Every structure is written in structure tokens, then in C-alpha cells.
Chain A
């Protein structure tokens, strides 16, 4: 169940856009799909939706093979592509009705679903407008409404928040969070906070290869933490090194040091004790965490 990608390879000419990629997305799981531009995120997603044929490898969605039963898969997938193409000459209402006809929804269900989606996506005031006249944020909402009309089990969202202003970003993010309950979601982005806020697990891809596939929690535990301490007067560096648990001391200024401790060992209270013992005044003690961003850039740069 969910999405299963086995040894997927896609070659454009001589270039490997996706190179032997395998991963699973369990049912009802939200997985973030991260990577720099041109890493192969969109290509992978287009193959999962059945738009592009794979060069090698297999993709299964809800146990259907993408290459063998593309129509079945297209019925259960909701795909929002990166640039969210819409027919600008259609009215929002008309467009949603038309899309529901493509999915051949029964007429009773159709009416209810359209009303429901307009409500959910906050399009009540815009439903009688032409799509071409809507702002980017509302277009994105129309895109999402259209994706959700047939109540798909699997959602593939390709950078659904790119190009939105901060308010719209928060709104669309909230909307995605609301709709993604009881659905399998593969969600691509290059904004890390977003993935952190929405997903449990993240797959990082770079140059067509997977460089990380971890729970965000686990990924974060790999993050380096260090303490910045500043004293009011002279301290001997070697004394700091003698404190239990301290692995590394780097001088950062006149009386300022960066301390790194052993993994999982807290040294703040020991440092405070040290200061009182030596009769020193502590001016600053700050715990600094490397962000997910730094892990991301670390992982995607290693390949170069």
C-alpha cells in the first residue's frame, strides 16, 4: 500500500535525471521530498503520476503498477504539479464541475464535493470569478480544490507553496495539513521549515540519488550542538577542556569559546559550576543547534 518506488531510473538523453532511486511511502504517511533545484524531484513525481514513463525500475501506487495500469492510478492519485497549470478562461465553479466530470463522479456526489472543496479551500467569494483573474494564492487554492475533488487516496504535491507571500504560505500550509489526514502524501519543497512542520519523514534527493531517508526526529539528532560561552575575564583554555564531557574547545574571541560536548551530554550546569569554582563571571552561555538547513546543504554538497 502507499507508494513503492523500486530502483527507478530516468534518463534524458545521456543525463541521469533519476538514478536508481528506491523508497516507500506508507499509507497515511506524509513524507517530505527535498532537494535542490534540478535534483530529480519533479521527474520522480511525474513518473509516479504516470505522466512520464520510467527508463528502468518499477513504481507501485496502492499495489497498482504505474506502467501496467496507468488509468487506475490516475483515478486514485491527486497530483498538483509545480506550476499548477489552470485553464484561465474558465470560471472557478465551471472548472471544478468540469474536473469532476473527467473523474466521472456521480452527479449527487459531484455537487456535494464541489461545495465541500470550495468551502475547504476558502474559495466561496471567488467561485464566480474567472481563474485568469485570481491572485497566485487563490490559484493555488483552486489547484488544491481540483486535486482533492475525487477524494484521492494518494496526494503528490510538487512544490505547492512556491512563489507565495508569507501570509499565503501559512494559509496554504495549514490547508495542506488539514487535507492530508487519512491520505498518503508525498510533498516536495525546498523550504525546510515547511517540511519540518508538515511531515514526519523526509527523503532528500540530490543529482538523482537519495542522500537521506530518515524520520525528521532522527535527522535532527544527528545535528551538532555546541555551547558558546563568554566570560568577563581571562580563562585558561586547557581548564575548559578538563570539564567532564567537553570534547572540543575553540577560542572565538578574547574571552569567548565554542564548546562541543559528547553526543547527548549536557554540560551547561558543569560549566556554571566551573565558573563559580574559579570565581569567574559568566556573561553569556548560549546553546547553538545546527539547523536542518545545514544538514541539507551538508548532504547535498558532499556529492559534489
Chain B
């Protein structure tokens, strides 16, 4: 597994992909948080990081779909996947290696935004007037959320050998799981059904974590989602239809 992980990380760093993803994420989120008036913290007047945590996931959907779309699709097209599968590696080695590598990239991009926390900490009046547990919970949520997006991207990539197809698949499934269920819930009026449907979506659990309370039910939800998507990827790879 570590061989695959290292090779993936190396290929992110040797090609432009890694730098592009981190750079684009930071530029987008930086402009949204500090520059554009409609979402800027400075205009808004409250020392919180809601812009990052509410708009960040949408940027991550695009960037992580772009990162993961090549993971299996490209290897299938170049037939290096066939080569890898004749090496003493299990399918799980390949899936986890690639999953962890794209995850690392996501965590790395998020890590830079910790600077925002310290900026807001000192910009607050009085200094330190920021909901630190809420920020921590949101970061945990962001990391888990990007792990789910990576798992969805890996699945999409293992379904097709066309990168564009897997990119579109990935965006579709990520959006569906992130906000799709909330939109679906709007169709109903009965409160308990609304909650039942919302619970299927990522946003419900992400918001719950953002309140600063790290609930094991939310963590289990995220881990289950990751497990299911990776399991489906294994099934897709086992079919050997390429």
C-alpha cells in the first residue's frame, strides 16, 4: 500500500497537479474570505470562518474530483493497472494507496487555511473572540468531508476509463451526497421525514460537527460512507472489464 501511496504523492509533486490544486484552492478561498465584499469576513464584521467552511466544500468538490479522476481511469487507459495487478499487491493496496494520497493533498490544502484562524483570532475585538471549538469541529468535518469526496472520486474513476466521464460522475455524486438530500427533503412537509432524509446527506452531519461537538454518530456516518464507496471501487476493479 505504501508503495502505491508514495508513487501517487510523487506524481502529484512531480507534475503540476499537486501545486495547482493547493494553489487554486487557496486563491479561491482567499478571495472569497478576504476580498469579495459579499462573502468577506472584513465586511461581515463577525470574527468567524463561516465563509471557508460553507464555500470550501464546493471548491473541494471540483478540485478533488479533478485529482481523483485520473487515479484508476488513467491507469486503465495506459494499461499500467493490468501491470500493477500482476505484482504482489492486493486490490485494497491500490485503492487505499490512491485514496490516502489524494486525501493527503486535501489535508495539505486545508492546513494552509489555519492561518485564517490565527488572523481572525487577533482581529477579534477583544482579541481571541472566536468560537475555537466550533472551528476545530468544522476542520474535523472538512477533513472527513474531503475524505468522502476522495472516496467518491476513486469510485468514479474505477467505473470508467475515460477521465472526463469519471470527473462528471464524481461531481454528480459528491453534490448529491453533499446537498442533494437537503434539496430532496424540501419536497416534504412532515418534520420527521425531512430529518430522516436530511440525515442521509453529508451536510446534516457536517453542520452538526461545525457546532463544535464531535459526535461519534457523525464520525461513524462519514467512515461508513468512505468504506462503502471504497468497497464499491473494489467491486468495480474486480470486474476486469477493461
Contact = CB atoms under 8 A, between A and B. Distances in A.
A51 B86 contact: yes
Contacts of A89: 11, 14-15
Interface string B71-97: 000000011101101111110000000
B3 A102 contact: yes
B86 A79 contact: yes
A86 B80 contact: yes
A83 interface: yes
B240 interface: yes
Interface residues of A, number: 23
Q: Which 5 A-B pairs have the closest CB atoms?
A: A85-B79, A74-B88, A85-B80, A49-B86, A79-B86
Contacts of A52: 240
Interface of A is mostly: loop
Contacts of A71: 88, 90
B211 interface: no
Contacts of A49: 86
Given A85-B80, A89-B14, A51 B85 contact: yes
Interface of B: 3, 6-7, 11, 14-15, 78-80, 82-83, 85-90, 240
Given A87-B80, A102-B88, 15 more contacts: A46-B82, A50-B86, A51-B82, A52-B240, A74-B89, A79-B86, A85-B82, A87-B7, A87-B11, A89-B14, A89-B15, A98-B6, A99-B87, A101-B3, A102-B87
A89 B82 CA distance: 18
Contacts of A173: none
A183 interface: no
B119 to A, nearest CB: 38
Contacts of A81: 79, 82-83, 86
A23 interface: no
A103 B87 CA distance: 8
Contacts of B87: 74, 99, 102-103
Interface string A183-214: 00000000000000000000000000000000
Contacts of B3: 98, 101-102
A75 B88 CA distance: 6
Given A74-B88, A102-B89, A85 B11 contact: no
18 contacts: A46-B82, A51-B82, A51-B85, A52-B240, A71-B88, A74-B86, A74-B89, A77-B86, A81-B79, A81-B82, A81-B86, A83-B79, A85-B78, A87-B80, A98-B3, A98-B7, A99-B87, A101-B3
Interface in A42-95: 46, 49-53, 71, 74-75, 77, 79, 81, 83, 85-87, 89
